């Protein structure tokens, strides 16, 4: 099919590359001229596995980048809206970009089109898109508006797109639903997966994704409700971890017992320093606002947000407890992205913790495999320096903090790391290591929801000498 994708952010760029991978001709539209020029040169602005390979494979053949929305609309059968929907101060979604794009699409119509919401938007946005297009000259019979929410995780967005658990199509006509189903047919029937040069399937990929066809309003609600539920699981397990710390239980054992129940499942039962990123914080506030406008006081979401906000402060208290005072201490930080596998630092609890450490006059030296350059920009006014590798930042540090769950951090040479540190103190906000192992290796090890680990007896003399 001929497809236009409006917006080249995380969702738009991944969708554009993947739709091209499925054999469609795709025009990705953006109004940022410098970003467009970089994409046209083959430069990929985000850290996302397999995305550079797909763009290199299809750029200039099935994937094109343009600054003209009008030309893209006229050349396409299906137009996906994947522009930003940032939060306003009151938590509501700012839909001005969606409105602006809808207005331009309405003015550029030259035949029958399907306009699809790909951005995360409040329920009833599809109605507003339809109204805006009608007000700007689009004939009522010349277009359909549909909702096709994305369920992409940063760091695995390409494989999430190509090997989905489910595909949700919110369409108010059978014809519209049929066109979108045909678009996704290579994924629904798994013909794509059998291609010789297909992106490899992840280990946990489902055999056949479920196709769910709903009304547009139901699809809009599915996206917000999904993110709210996942955020709730994270806040819930963090609350349980806090109870574990208070009574001396082990959160890993509790998670095994809870997650073994098929009604609950093990995914997202990972305690830590809280969720972040561009989706959960924004979407929970927006969903709470939508519920309020509908006349429902969704107080459960208030508590999910409160627990998450408190989790960073609890971890900071853990750091203070391990080091007594922070002023003048050299603290090594591993991880700045909100999660492993991405360079996204939006709403990152790691960045917030670094800022808190700086406010307490600690000397922070940080490393992240992908997010360092983005972090330099947002931490430019803070007293933070950056290292080239984990051992570099650990050198002569009073303590090491693990704040992002990068696989690289779970595979460190712990003997070398201990020799680099001034004191063998590790405060792990992602529970990457076994307390028993860290104790055997001579560390003072603090994690989330598990008992603290102290060095074995033979290491006490060495610690005293170091002090």
Name the one residue in this structure whose structure tokens are 């540190």.
421
Asked whether 235 and 303 are in contact (CB, 8 A), the reply is yes
| Region at 291 (left for phi over 0; alpha for psi -120 to 50; beta for the rest) | alpha
Alpha-carbon distance 249 to 251, whole Å? 7
Residue 95's nearest CA partner among 57, 53, 125, 60 is 125
Residue 62 contacts residue 23 (beta carbons within 8 Å): yes
Catalytic residue chosen out of the listed positions 28, 244, 279, 312: 279
b or e along 408-433 (b: 16 or more beta carbons within 10 Å of the residue's beta carbon)? Answer: ebeebebeebbebbbbbbbbbbbbbb
Residue 246: alpha-carbon gap to chain centroid: 30
Q: 299-323 and 280-293 are packed helices; what angle lies between their axes, rounded to 10 degrees?
A: 150
The Cα 64–Cα 166 span in angstroms is 28
Task: Report how far Cα 11 is from the mean position of its chain's Cα atoms.
Answer: 11
Contact 315, 308 (CB under 8 A): no
Asked if residue 401 lies in contact with residue 353, where contact means CB atoms within 8 angstroms, the answer is yes
Cβ density class 221-242: b for 16+ within 10 Å, e for less: bbbbebbbebbbbbbbbbbbbb
List, in order, residues 6 or more apart from 140 with CB less than 8 Å away: 134
Q: Are 335 and 273 in contact (CB under 8 A)?
A: no
Instruction: State residue 96 phi and psi, 5-degree precision.
Output: -65, -35
Per DSSP, what are the bridge partners of residue 114? Answer: 78, 144
In total, the chain counts a number of residues equal to 467
**Residue appearing with tokens 């680099």:** 420
Distance CA 357, CA 315 (A): 11
Alpha carbon distance 79, 7 (integer Å): 11
Residue with tokens 């129940």: 261
Residue 133, both tokens: 């297009």
- Edge-to-edge strands, sheet with 210-214: 63-66, 25-29, 2-6, 78-81, 113-117, 143-147, 166-170, 210-214
279 is catalytic: yes
Q: Tokens 């090594």 — which residue?
A: 332
Which residues form the catalytic set? 279
């Amino acid at each position: 099919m001929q497809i236009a994708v409006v917006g080249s952010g995380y969702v738009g760029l991944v969708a554009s590359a993947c739709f091209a991978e499925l054999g469609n001709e795709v025009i990705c539209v953006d109004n940022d001229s410098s970003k467009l020029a970089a994409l046209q040169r083959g430069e990929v602005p985000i850290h996302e596995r397999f995305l550079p390979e797909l763009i290199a494979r299809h750029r200039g053949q099935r994937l094109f980048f343009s600054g003209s929305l009008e030309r893209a609309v006229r050349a396409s059968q299906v137009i996906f809206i994947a522009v930003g929907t940032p939060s306003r101060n009151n938590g509501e979604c700012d839909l001005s970009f969606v409105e602006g794009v809808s207005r331009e699409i309405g003015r550029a119509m030259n035949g029958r089109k399907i306009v699809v919401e790909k951005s995360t938007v409040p329920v009833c946005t599809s109605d507003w898109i339809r109204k805006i297009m009608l007000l700007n000259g689009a004939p009522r019979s010349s277009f359909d508006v549909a909702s096709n929410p994305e369920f992409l995780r940063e760091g695995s967005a390409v494989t999430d797109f190509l090997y989905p658990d489910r595909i949700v199509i919110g369409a108010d006509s059978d014809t519209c639903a049929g066109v979108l189903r045909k678009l996704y047919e290579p994924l629904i029937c798994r013909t794509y997966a059998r291609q010789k040069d297909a992106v490899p399937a992840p280990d946990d990929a489902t055999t056949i994704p479920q196709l769910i066809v709903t009304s547009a309003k139901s699809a809009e609600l599915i996206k917000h409700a999904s993110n709210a539920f996942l955020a709730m699981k994270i806040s819930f397990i963090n609350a349980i971890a806090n109870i574990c710390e208070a009574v001396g239980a082990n959160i890993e054992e509790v998670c095994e017992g809870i997650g073994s129940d098929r009604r609950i499942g093990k995914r997202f039962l990972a305690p830590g320093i809280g969720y972040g990123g561009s989706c959960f914080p924004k979407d929970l506030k927006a969903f709470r606002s939508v519920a309020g406008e509908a006349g429902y006081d969704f107080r459960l979401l208030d508590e999910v947000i409160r627990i998450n906000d408190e989790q960073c402060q609890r971890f900071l208290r853990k750091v203070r407890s391990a080091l007594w005072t922070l002023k003048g201490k050299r603290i090594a930080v591993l991880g700045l992205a909100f999660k492993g596998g991405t360079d996204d630092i939006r709403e990152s609890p790691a960045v917030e913790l670094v800022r808190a450490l700086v406010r307490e006059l600690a000397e922070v030296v940080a490393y992240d495999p992908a997010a360092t350059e983005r972090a330099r920009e947002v931490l430019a006014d803070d007293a933070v320096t950056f290292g080239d590798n984990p051992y570099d930042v650990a050198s002569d540090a009073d303590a090491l903090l693990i704040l992002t769950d990068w696989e690289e951090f779970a595979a460190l040479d712990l003997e070398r790391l201990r020799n680099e540190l001034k004191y063998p103190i590790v405060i792990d906000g992602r529970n990457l290591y076994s307390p028993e192992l860290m104790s055997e290796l001579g560390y003072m090890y603090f994690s989330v929801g598990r008992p603290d680990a102290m060095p074995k007896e033979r290491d006490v003399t060495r610690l005293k000498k170091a002090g």
